Amino acid sequence: MDFPEQDVDIFGEFEGQDNHGDGARQSSSSSSSSSSSSRSSSNGSEGGETSSGGSASASGSASGSSSEGEDNGEEVEKKVHGYEERDLFGSDSDEKDLFGSDNEDYCKTLATSPFPVPVLPAIRNTNNQNRGNFGRGRWQNDRGAGILPRPGPYPQRHNYGYGSKFNNRHDERFVSELKLTKSEETLSRKCIAFQEPCELACYSRVEGGDVHFDDRSLRLFKRLITEDVGADLNEGYDTFIEKKDLGSEGFGDLLAAIRNRNIPLGNIHFVTFRNNLNKILATAYIRNEPWEMGVHKRNGVVYLDVHKLPERPKSDLDRRRCYWGYCFESLATEDPRRADGEGIHHVDANAEYCSVIKTKLGAHRILMGAEMDCCDSTDDGRRFYVELKTSRELDYHTEERYEREKLLKFWIQSFLAGVPYIVIGFRDDGGRLVRTERLRTKDITQRVKMKNYWQGGVCLAFADEVLCWLYGTVKENEDYILQFAPPFNRLELLQAQSCPDAISNHVQQL
């Protein structure tokens, strides 16, 4: 599986949006056309919007003129299907402007009607006398307000249609909200620039949890991964070491790597892990997955901390499926400690390599940490990263969901960090590797565009809306929680009580 050098670039030009200049010219033409007088209606706006009956009348006038000679402004009469029809566009037609000052009838029209507003009687239920006035109609009764609004200048019920479960306005922590009302069509009209990511630093976490500011944990991609098709991904499951939840401690390692390389933060707007940006961009299309993150503004920089939501207890099958992904990563990378033909064993999910990347989305300068699975190099020695993924083998019923949701997440994760290639290992329900597929990140959007599943530009435009709202709302030295929760129709910003020690210590050491 070769990676030619010319295929590495994933930041080709975005496809430009449709030029709406014609629409503007049409609007201007329509405006000038509507301002023309009624006596030039043959080439004015009314003439362009005449109904079919008007067209028949005009054609009839033309035919009458050719057979009987020109009438020079006299009224033209003819019989059409037994009905007498007058030419509405003769020269002696009424030339008065309907809304002009010469129209006396219009000028004499009163601003308010002299007739009183009718008052309708109350509706009584005559079908069932035992129930009385228990209808759910427009007027008030002893059961409370009905579905329709009450007549008259009475105050309406607040928060009608939303219970306390779906409304956090009563929550003392509530600060602001961003309603997800903009359609995909509206967002697609925005062209958001995204700067090619640039790696500034890195760090490695080795088995045991120690952190080093180098690339010792970065693995090399094994190009002959196709030779492992048929391998059992359950191998080594008994000795698998699951990943620990480090909480804000993991964010502290990223901040330590930034300090270690003396990366200036004076012109940076957001510092975050890539995972938080993945959530924001994916929310443009995936509206049924809750998430939250910490938001802390210090010295003009907004730090986005990863929050892990409570999950249901994992079954053995859940843990095994999670292991299949780590096992495929071990199969697809070179391991000098593993001899040829030796099986997979002692997989530690805590060992990782993280790249510190600077990029720019719209006007927002972002410094983010992104875990990288492995790397490869071109013929001239230029290094690039490769993303490794696993998925259940596709069939007729699962292919659409795979392209709508999984490929969307794969693309977002790789595009944000500038990863040009994704290698996917497809497995069966028993955990056996069936086949592998290599995708170029920049080709994924073209693949789904033909089916109109999603657009990458919409994800970037949505993220730009969120980051603009977020940066403009949060205040200096204050702490918040950004959450996306049921009923999944808005983003909510809540006040938080404290700031993680990792961020506070980082700010003190700057």
C-alpha 282: how far from its chain's center? 6
Structure token pair of residue 453:
């599943």
Tell whether the model's pLDDT for residue 25 goes beyond 90: no
For the entire predicted model, the pTM comes to: 0.69
Close Cβ partners of 476 (under 8 Å, ≥ 6 residues apart): 297, 298, 299, 300
Position 88 pLDDT exceeds 60:
no
pLDDT at 159 over 90: no
Among the listed residues 171, 191, 155, the one whose alpha carbon sits nearest the alpha carbon of residue 19: 191
Check residue 379 and give its pLDDT: 87
What is the H or E stretch that residue 46 is in? Answer: helix 45-48
Tell me the average pLDDT across 49-55: 42
Q: How many residues does the chain have?
A: 510
For 217-237, b/e burial (b = at least 16 CB within 10 A) is: bbbebbbebeeeeebbbebbb
Percentage of the chain with pLDDT > 90? 60
Beta carbons within 10 angstroms of residue 241's beta carbon: 13
- Residue 37's pLDDT is what? 41
Q: What was the pLDDT predicted at 369?
A: 98
**The pLDDT value given to residue 197:** 96
Query: Which residues, including other chains, have CB under 8 Å from residue 94's CB and lie 6 or more apart?
Result: none
> Which helix (DSSP H) or strand (DSSP E) does residue 131 occupy?
none
Rounded distance between C-alpha atoms, residue 479 and residue 496, angstroms:
5
What whole-number distance in Å separates Cα of residue 133 and Cα of residue 302? Answer: 58
Model confidence pLDDT, tens digit, residues 294-311? 999 999 999 999 999 998
Q: Which residue has the higher pLDDT, 107 or 497?
A: 497
- ∠ at Cα 197 (192, 201), nearest 5°? 145
d(CA 402, CA 241): 29
Strands (E), 286-332: 291-298, 301-306
| CA angle in degrees (0–180, nearest 5) for 502-206-346 | 130
| pLDDT the model gives residue 330 | 95
CB 87 within 8 A of CB 76: yes
Residue 4, preceding peptide bond in cis (omega within 30° of 0)? no
Provide the mean pLDDT of the chain.
79
The arithmetic mean of pLDDT across residues 374-389, rounded, is: 94
Tell me the C-alpha distance between 35 and 100, whole Å. Answer: 12
Full DSSP string of 438-501: EEEHHHHHHHHHTTTS--HHHHHHHHHHHHHHHHHH--TT-EEEEEE-TT-SEEEEEE-S---H
Q: Do residues 482 and 292 touch, judged by C-beta distance below 8 A?
A: yes
Note the pLDDT tens digit of each residue in 239-289. Answer: 999 999 888 899 999 999 999 999 999 999 999 999 999 999 999 999 999
Q: Phi and psi of 217, rounded to 5°? A: -95, 0
